Amino acid sequence: MEYQKKYAIPKLQNEFLLIGWDRGYKNIQLFYKDRLIETIKNASQLKKGLRIQDQELHTIDLKFSESPMAIDVIFDGIHCASNVSHPFKEMKKFGPIFWIIAVFAIVFSAIEIGITRRVPLAGTLTMLFDTIIVIAYILSAIYVSKSKPWAFWLGFITYSFVFLLTVLSVVVTLGSFLFIVNFVIRLTFLIFMIRMIKTVLNVSKHKNYMKNSGEGLDLLDN
């Protein structure tokens, strides 16, 4: 084997799975305590994911990460800390999206305030409401970048509420062009956020496991 990598087994302290392979991820072999678990001849199986059952280690899932390409290993649903596509690392990538949403909210807030400022009470209420929304997005952006699930749900719930108001605005204004554009943009972001939910749930699952097992939460803060 030209290349080797050790993967710490989450549920077994100081125990490792050794994976070796030849150039181009050929002849991938899995070892545990010098015992050969599996030899994988066709590396393309790892593109969609390959599940291996072992008497000692139970369920082992292997899959290629997208960028950079590497082998990710999951034991009984729990990622190895060194995985390129670890849920904590993937969730951190969502931070910029919430920053974009925050900027988007500030721009539309300025437009709304400009429209309602002629009516003092309406202008004040709009400014107060929009300030709360923007603060929620900024908090989400900061803490989603630190893989905090509560921050995602704060942003998601806030965004969903505002999206509902946008839908009602489109209906009330009978399809005003500005509101339709607003609706399309918000719908696009909502779809992105819905696609994030699986990763966020995975982060919560791993965080609970690590708390219960007494393992560190370093990945949350890196």
The whole-number pLDDT of residue 219 equals 46
The conformation of residue 175, written as its DSSP 8-state character, comes to S
The whole-number pLDDT of residue 182 equals 74
Q: List helix spans (H) across 27-148.
A: 45-48, 87-92, 95-116, 120-144
Q: What would the two tokens of residue 192 be?
A: 């992105």
Secondary structure of the chain: what % helix, strand, coil (to 5)? Answer: 55, 20, 25
The whole-number pLDDT of residue 110 equals 83
Instruction: Taking residues 87-111, report their average pLDDT.
Output: 90
Higher pLDDT, 37 or 178: 37
Least confident residue range of 43-47, 108-112, 158-162 = 108-112
Tens of pLDDT, residue by residue over 22-33, are 988 888 999 999
* pLDDT over 70, % of the chain: 90
Q: Examine the pLDDT at 149 and tell me if it is beyond 50.
A: yes
Q: Examine the pLDDT at 153 and tell me if it is beyond 90.
A: yes
pLDDT band of 130, cuts 50, 70, 90: confident
Verdict on whether the full-model pTM lies above 0.85: no
Instruction: Taking residues 187-192, report their average pLDDT.
Output: 91
